């Protein structure tokens, strides 16, 4: 089964060659690499000139990651579609693992994996997906029972066996996002119109896509790493503030789970709690920035929200300033007491030890 690999990029001339080389090391004859230039204004085009015979180049205006990935999906010719971010690295056996699995399990619509991390000094970290979803449950509970990969397909040389979990992500994804796009591979034709990223939001566009895919098909999770997520000093799309992020998340929730009457009928309270938490996050941000009238509007959408937030949003400026002063004064007092206690201990303990020594 051939794969179309999509790499969207915007002003990542310093990182994209590393990303592209890692993909080139993983593809096989018949695969294609589609680089979608999302309106870059740096020298990305010149940097990639030596690789132009190895890639398909798609140019477009700057419209964001969702639109760029969608452009790549439309251009894709192969039955399987995979992604890499222009600042991350694939492991060389990523496609070997996923291609063999998807051939062996035609019932699975998409699969994904864990990912490692590299900081700017090249120091490696592991099990990075947990930092995304923060779900303490085992993958047996999150998705489905474990099965060794080696019982499904042949392991590449040098790769240790690992667990594969197959099931439905749909209902559990109301809790968190479990799919890192750069680790995923999707059956293009079977996914159909659901295989689409949000184009009007700069974050959670990938979460929206995989919630939609999870609604119509089975997912598989490889409990191993197939990608390095690489840190760098350039801008990241995840840099949006808490207020905006919560707003984008609300929009995605409303047009995925909120647009599914059957799901809302079964999980009405879970859905409402999730929305309330996001509106409360927006209210907290506004309170901290002195926008209490706007915060009260968000709290109404949160069905009143936490009592503490409601009190802070209702307080006059003068009272709020007094409370802040008291809080800061209390913290200073706590710090002073800690310093005093440490000084007393530094005197008392040696004296006590000498006294005990003298009585022996």
How much is the pTM?
0.86
Tokens linked to 103: 């051939």
CA angle, 86 then 87 then 88, to 5°: 100
Provide mean pLDDT across the span 209-238.
88
6-35 per-position pLDDT tens digit:
999 999 999 999 999 999 999 999 999 999
272-323 per-position pLDDT tens digit:
999 999 999 999 999 888 898 999 999 999 998 888 888 888 877 655 555 5
Three-class secondary structure assignment of the chain: CCEEEEEEECCCCCCHHHHHHHHHCCCCCCCEEEEEEECCCCCHHHHCHHHHHHCEEEEECCCCHHHHHHHHHHHCCCCEEEECCCCCEECCCHHHHHHHHHHHCCCEEEEEEEEEEECCCCCEECCCCHHHHCCCCCHHHHCCCEEEHHHCCCCCCCCCCCEEEEECCCHHHHCCCCCCHHHCEEEHHHHHHHCCCCCCCCCCHHHHHHHHHHHHCEEEEEEEEEEEEECCCCCCHHHCCHHHHHHHHHHHHHHCHHHCHHHHHHCHHHHHHHHHHHHHHHHHHHHHCCCHHHHHHHHHHCCCCCHHHHHHHHCCHHHHHHHHHHHHHHHHHHHHHHHHHHHHHHHHHHHHHHHHHHCC
For residue 348, the model assigns a pLDDT of: 63
Q: CA 52 → CA 25, 40, 83, 304, distances in Å?
A: 16, 16, 18, 56
Q: Is the pLDDT confidence value at 238 over 80? A: no
For residue 65, the model assigns a pLDDT of: 95
């Amino acid at each position: 089964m051939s794969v179309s690999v999509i790499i969207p990029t915007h002003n990542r001339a310093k990182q994209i060659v590393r990303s592209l080389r890692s993909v080139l090391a993983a593809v096989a004859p018949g695969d294609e690499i589609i680089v979608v230039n999302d309106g870059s204004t740096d020298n990305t085009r010149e940097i990639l000139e030596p690789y132009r015979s190895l890639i398909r180049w798609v140019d477009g205006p700057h419209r964001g990651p969702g639109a760029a990935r969608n452009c790549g999906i439309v251009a894709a010719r192969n039955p399987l579609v995979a992604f890499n971010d222009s600042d991350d690295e694939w492991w060389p056996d990523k496609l070997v693992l996923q291609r063999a699995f998807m051939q062996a399990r035609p019932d699975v619509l998409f699969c994904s994996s864990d990912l490692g991390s590299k900081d700017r000094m090249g120091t490696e970290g592991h099990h990075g997906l947990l930092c995304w979803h923060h779900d303490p449950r085992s993958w047996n509970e999150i998705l489905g029972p474990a099965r060794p990969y080696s019982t499904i397909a042949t392991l590449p040389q040098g790769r240790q066996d690992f667990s594969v979990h197959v099931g439905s992500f749909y209902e559990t994804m109301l809790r968190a996002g479990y799919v890192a796009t750069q680790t995923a591979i999707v059956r293009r034709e079977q996914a159909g119109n659901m295989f689409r990223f949000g184009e009007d939001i700069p974050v959670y566009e990938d979460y929206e896509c995989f919630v939609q895919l999870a609604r119509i098909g089975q997912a598989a999770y490889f409990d191993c790493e197939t990608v390095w997520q690489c840190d760098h000093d350039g801008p990241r799309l995840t840099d949006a503030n808490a207020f905006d992020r919560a707003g984008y998340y609300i929009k995605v929730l409303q047009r995925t789970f909120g647009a599914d009457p059957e799901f809302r009928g079964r999980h009405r309270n879970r859905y409402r709690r999730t929305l309330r938490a996001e509106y409360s996050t927006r209210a907290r941000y506004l309170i901290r920035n002195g926008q209490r009238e706007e915060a009260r509007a968000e709290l109404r959408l949160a069905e009143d929200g936490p009592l503490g937030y409601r009190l802070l949003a209702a307080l006059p400026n003068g009272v709020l300033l007094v409370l802040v002063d008291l809080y800061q004064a209390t913290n200073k007092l706590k710090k002073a007491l800690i310093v005093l206690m440490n000084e007393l201990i530094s005197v008392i303990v040696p004296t006590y030890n000498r006294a005990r020594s003298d009585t022996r």
